[in-house]
């Protein structure tokens, strides 16, 4: 690859969660919803698209707005936000964008001649008699469409199931005609919700939302967000319309379940919901998911990790990293703090600790506000014990470090190569009203390393980044 891959893979000021990646031609296109920095609800923006060469996942290009929320005839008053979409190529070679508005439980479709649009409204998924899917007697509300086309059939997966709601049974699949709109086979359930999972094999990881579908070899992989919220799970079948068996977790957006470097149940980042899917890019498969920033649920950013499959087709749970699990970052040069994949204090918390805004005891990844919304990203509110972790770096001959901070803080920044390891050195921290660089000599062990920065002191620190110096 020509450029380093980092997480989040888009610029620090861009917020595209719910990522559905696809390779079309020689580029990877990612479709998702569109959050705003400082947003107060989910999915406030129009749909945008980003793409990258399939052989260079560090070189993302903005394709612009591909579909506006006011293009849906039902949404001219803009009261509905564009929730998580998916895209499929029709038998006619056109691209079809499926979505559900936040205030209406039917599936809308837009179409375009190119992967990045522009898309134009095409219609609503409906039964042969014209009744919209989701509005027929007995239908459950539609939510989070995921699509897969094979031949002249399109498989549409939808659903949302929360605790205590007996009216929603699980994830559904509906088969569509070659026009990509008309129902040819009525919805059937493929994965149970939490109220109906007993005895199914999905216990503890029942379907919550975010259905997505991919095919690898002769297996269909049904990917979804579980009732745990932070994890993307998967079930497999040899048929697209049923027989799915739960197989495990692909990724957790707080690394719960990973026991290679910590206890499995320890969270390493402040998390909430998750949504994404996997795609084969070149010779490798990747999982796209999202993380939460700014101390809320509503400013989510896309991340990716390379996947490892076992011989039987099962997937090893991927770690959250700062490098997308592609290759370690170079052990030299400047790195912004917002690429931290771990963020925690000595108070163990799994979910974003907020009641409107984040509890001021905890750090958060945020950004400065500049004209055009493209201010730098940094970690705010690092108080005593706050730790930011970065995985991984290829350290060779690193002997100095320079860190960029500001804020009313006094103490030191301790540096470790393991979250619970001994400090290999520290950098003094003093009061600073503007971004200020402080350098210290620290001998880093050679090899592939994680780097953890822990503030020890008084006050609250803002952390912009660090430079590794040989």
Our answer to whether residue 18 is catalytic in this structure is: yes
Q: Which of 21, 22, 47 is nearest to 34 (CA)?
A: 47
Question: Which listed residue (72, 140, 144, 209) is catalytic?
Answer: 209
Nearest-angstrom CA–CA distance, 340 and 342: 6
One of 14, 18, 63, 86 is an active-site residue; which one? Answer: 18
Q: How far is CA 302 from the centre of its chain?
A: 4
Ramachandran bin of 253, using left for φ above 0, alpha for ψ from -120 to 50, beta for the remaining angles? alpha
Task: Give residues with Cβ within 8 angstroms of 86, minimum separation 6.
Answer: 20, 31, 97, 98, 99, 145, 146, 147, 212
How many other CB atoms are there within 10 angstroms of residue 163's CB atom? 10
Would you report the helix, strand and coil content of the chain in percent, each value rounded to 5? Answer: 5, 45, 50
* Burial of 75: CB neighbours in 10 Å, binned 0-12, 13-18, 19+: buried
Q: Which residue has the tokens 């719960």?
A: 256
Give first-to-last CA distance, the chain, whole Å: 24
For the chain, the maximum distance between any two Cα atoms, rounded to a whole number of angstroms, is 74
Q: How far is CA 452 from CA 1, 63, 170, 405, in A?
A: 26, 35, 41, 15
DSSP string for 37-98: TT-SSS--SPEEEEEEETT-TT--EEEEEEE-GGGSGGGTT--S-B---EEEE-TTS-EEEE
Active site residue 259: no
Nearest residue to 256 via CA among 349, 193, 338: 349
Query: Is the four-CA dihedral 333, 459, 365, 233 of positive or negative sign?
Result: positive
Closest CA to 249 of 234, 271, 238: 234
Written as one string, the DSSP assignment of 374-415 is: -PPEEEEEE-TT-EEEEEEEEESS--EEEEEEEESEEEEEEE
Tell me phi and psi for residue 355, to 5 degrees.
Answer: -145, 75
Q: Which residues of 112-149 are buried (b: 16+ CB within 10 A; e: fewer)?
A: beebbbebebbbbbbbeeeebbbeeeebbbbbbbbbbb
Residues 318, 55: contact at Cβ < 8 Å? no
Which residues are known catalytic residues?
Answer: 18, 209
């Amino acid at each position: 690859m020509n450029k380093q891959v980092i997480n989040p893979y888009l610029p620090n000021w861009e917020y595209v969660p719910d990522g559905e990646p696809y390779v079309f031609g020689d580029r990877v296109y990612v479709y998702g919803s569109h959050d705003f920095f400082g947003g107060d609800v989910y999915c406030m923006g129009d749909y945008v698209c980003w793409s990258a060469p399939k052989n260079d996942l560090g070189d993302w290009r903005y394709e612009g707005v591909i579909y506006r929320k006011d293009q849906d005839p039902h949404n001219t008053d803009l009261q509905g936000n564009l929730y998580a979409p998916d895209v499929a190529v029709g038998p006619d070679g056109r691209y079809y964008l499926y979505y559900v508005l936040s205030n209406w439980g039917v599936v809308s479709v837009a179409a375009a001649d190119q992967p990045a649009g522009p898309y134009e409204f095409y219609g609503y998924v409906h039964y042969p008699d014209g009744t919209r899917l989701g509005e027929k007697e007995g239908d459950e509300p539609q939510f989070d469409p995921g699509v897969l086309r094979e031949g002249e059939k399109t498989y549409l997966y939808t659903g949302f199931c929360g605790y205590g709601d007996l009216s929603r049974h699980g994830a559904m699949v509906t088969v569509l005609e070659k026009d990509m709109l008309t129902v040819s086979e009525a919805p059937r359930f493929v994965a149970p919700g939490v109220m109906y999972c007993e005895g199914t094999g999905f216990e503890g990881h029942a379907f919550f939302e975010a259905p997505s579908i991919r095919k690898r070899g002769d297996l269909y992989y049904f990917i979804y967000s579980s009732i745990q919220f932070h994890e993307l799970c998967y079930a497999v079948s040899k048929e697209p319309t049923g027989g799915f068996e739960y197989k495990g977790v692909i990724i957790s957006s707080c690394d719960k379940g990973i026991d290679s470097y910590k206890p499995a149940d320890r969270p390493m980042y402040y998390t909430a919901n998750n949504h994404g899917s996997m795609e084969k890019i070149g010779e490798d498969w990747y999982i796209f998911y999202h993380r939460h920033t700014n101390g809320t649920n509503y400013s989510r950013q896309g991340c990716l990790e390379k996947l490892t499959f076992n011989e039987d087709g099962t997937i090893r749970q991927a770690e959250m990293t700062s490098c997308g699990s592609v290759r370690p970052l170079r052990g030299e040069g400047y790195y912004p703090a917002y690429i931290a994949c771990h963020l925690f204090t000595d108070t163990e918390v799994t979910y974003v600790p907020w009641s409107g805004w984040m509890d001021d005891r905890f750090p958060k990844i945020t950004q400065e506000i500049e004209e055009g919304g493209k201010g730098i990203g940094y970690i705010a509110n690092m108080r005593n014990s706050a730790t930011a972790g970065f995985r991984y770096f290829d350290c060779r001959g690193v002997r100095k470090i320079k860190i960029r901070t500001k804020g009313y803080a006094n103490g030191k920044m301790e540096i470790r190569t393991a979250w619970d390891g001994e400090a290999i050195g520290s950098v003094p921290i003093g009061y600073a009203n503007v971004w200020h660089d402080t350098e210290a000599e620290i001998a880093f062990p050679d090899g592939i390393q994680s780097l953890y920065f822990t503030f020890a002191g008084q006050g609250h620190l803002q952390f912009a980044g660090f430079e590794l110096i040989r």
